[in-house]
Structure 1
């Protein structure tokens, strides 16, 4: 196995713009790291796909990132984290970090009543991956799950707030307020872009767990333990973005969310569109 260089970039991928929530936190925590992001915008959303298809997409995306000379793969997609990490680890010896485990750990730490709700895509929820991860940490915790399939299309279209968005969020989440949860896991990296609306609907008594924040912290800790953290770099790292469909909407939404221009965006072909 060739030695992994601390100077290599970190590769990140998601089905679309959602993984930028993880990118933003990584930029904040590790400003000197070079970051390469792949948004598979031609095949979004992943949450309605079969497990077999998601695993194929995961393999293709990871293979592309590995060609970019990276030191780590961050799977900034809960759907892939739920059903596809193993196929990525079969491809490479570089560390692979998903978003599911950090989110589950944070939820168990946060709950006071032992009643946690998880919202996510249909694929993530049907996999029961969050239930297993949370129960493994604390078997006494009650886990309630809810698929919210319209949230990803809303975010991808740039609909992040307003009456229509709030109405859709209420339709999915209103009844969760009646079962006395105190912790809500945003089990899709797109969902933090709706955090303001979700927070208003759920009220102040429910803590929202943003897996992006937890994942960025886990990435930094793992790089540090492995001696791969890029330290002592004064200037900001380079950020490169790849998409598999038109870059215009990705850039518009991404710039709004990151609060900064996205200079390097390139469209690439990966696998099949199906």
Structure 2
């Protein structure tokens, strides 16, 4: 009788998490992965805490139902608005389907905040994110835990995700919005020398961000950081790592059009994908 697959689940509200999955697969290619993009209900960044929590929990539940023992929320908004409740409320009380100590849900905020201070010489860092992530103040709280000496400045960039999702990330029209928010961030402190892209969509705007950021500034994308953190987590939790299946299988799910997802996913993931539709 074949052993059931137990992939590592990667969740995002849309396409951005594919930039994280790409880095994870490069770092840890031996595992099976299942990616779930909730494209039908994106964007999450403008939605309430309760709505994001409800949507995220529903998607995590589905990934658990598909055999995942470990799920990574490759979405800053979900990590900011839903992760703590899922970790502290749903998993411990053995909510139906979330019923085992061997089931874990991780996010992208903590791995980033654990290392961000290592990149700054001036002690001034900027965070570019969705309005939902900025409003949550999750980065302010988490960075304070690891690097209390840092000065952290945030800027919400509500137009950036739509630009990326509509394929306008490399267009002349994107320059206006990228420059606008970089200028607003630097107006808070001209001494910022490290800028965190706290949304997994933003790496597609990297060329334009570098163009308008201060010369020599460090621009941090989260994919590589999260991949390194996941590798370390699996080493530190061998009992969980042993449950993760290792057949190099990749499965992609979307709650919206598979044709649209497959076309857009190629840009984010760097390879062609063939997705399945998921009705929630």
Question: Would you call these one fold, judging by a TM-score over 0.5?
Answer: yes
Structure-1 residue corresponding to 2:201: 190
1:130 aligns with 2:130: no
The within-5 A match list for 1:194-213 is 194-213=205-224
Runs of 4+ in 1 over 6 A off after TM superposition: none
SS at the partner of 2:41? Answer: coil
RMSD: 2.0
1:241 aligns with 2:239: no
1:224 aligns with 2:224: no
**Aligned partner (choices 78, 81, 91) of residue 79 of structure 2:** 81
Structure-2 residue corresponding to 1:155: 164
Structure-2 residue corresponding to 1:45: 43
Mean Cα deviation higher: 250-259 or 57-66: 250-259
CA 1:127–1:6: 2 relative to 1, 3 Å: farther
Distance 2:257 2:169 in 1: 20
Structure-2 residue corresponding to 1:259: 270
When the two structures are superposed, what TM-score results if normalisation uses the length of structure 2?
0.88
For structure 1, the residue ranges without an aligned partner over 5 or more in a row are: none
**Is residue 194–residue 218 contact of structure 2 (8 Å, CA) maintained in 1?**
yes
State the Cα distance separating 1:54 from its structure 2 match: 0.7
**Is residue 16–residue 201 contact of structure 2 (8 Å, CA) maintained in 1?**
yes
**Is residue 77–residue 99 contact of structure 1 (8 Å, CA) maintained in 2?**
yes
Distance 1:71 1:224 in 2: 15
Q: How many residues are treated as equivalent by the alignment?
A: 263
**Is residue 12–residue 76 contact of structure 1 (8 Å, CA) maintained in 2?**
yes
**Aligned partner (choices 8, 11, 30) of residue 6 of structure 2:** 8
**Aligned partner (choices 15, 18, 21) of residue 19 of structure 2:** 21
- 1:246-269 alpha-carbon deviations (Å, 9 max, x no partner): 122221121123221113x11111
- 1:145-191 alpha-carbon deviations (Å, 9 max, x no partner): 00001111111112221211122101111243452200111111111
**Aligned partner (choices 102, 122, 137) of residue 113 of structure 1:** 122
Structure-1 residue corresponding to 2:107: 98
1:268 aligns with 2:278: yes
For structure 2, the residue ranges without an aligned partner over 5 or more in a row are: 92-97
- 1:118-169 alpha-carbon deviations (Å, 9 max, x no partner): 0111111011110111111121211110000111111111222121112210
When the two structures are superposed, what TM-score results if normalisation uses the length of structure 1?
0.90
**Is residue 11–residue 73 contact of structure 2 (8 Å, CA) maintained in 1?**
yes
State the Cα distance separating 1:7 from its structure 2 match: 6.3
SS at the partner of 2:139? Answer: helix
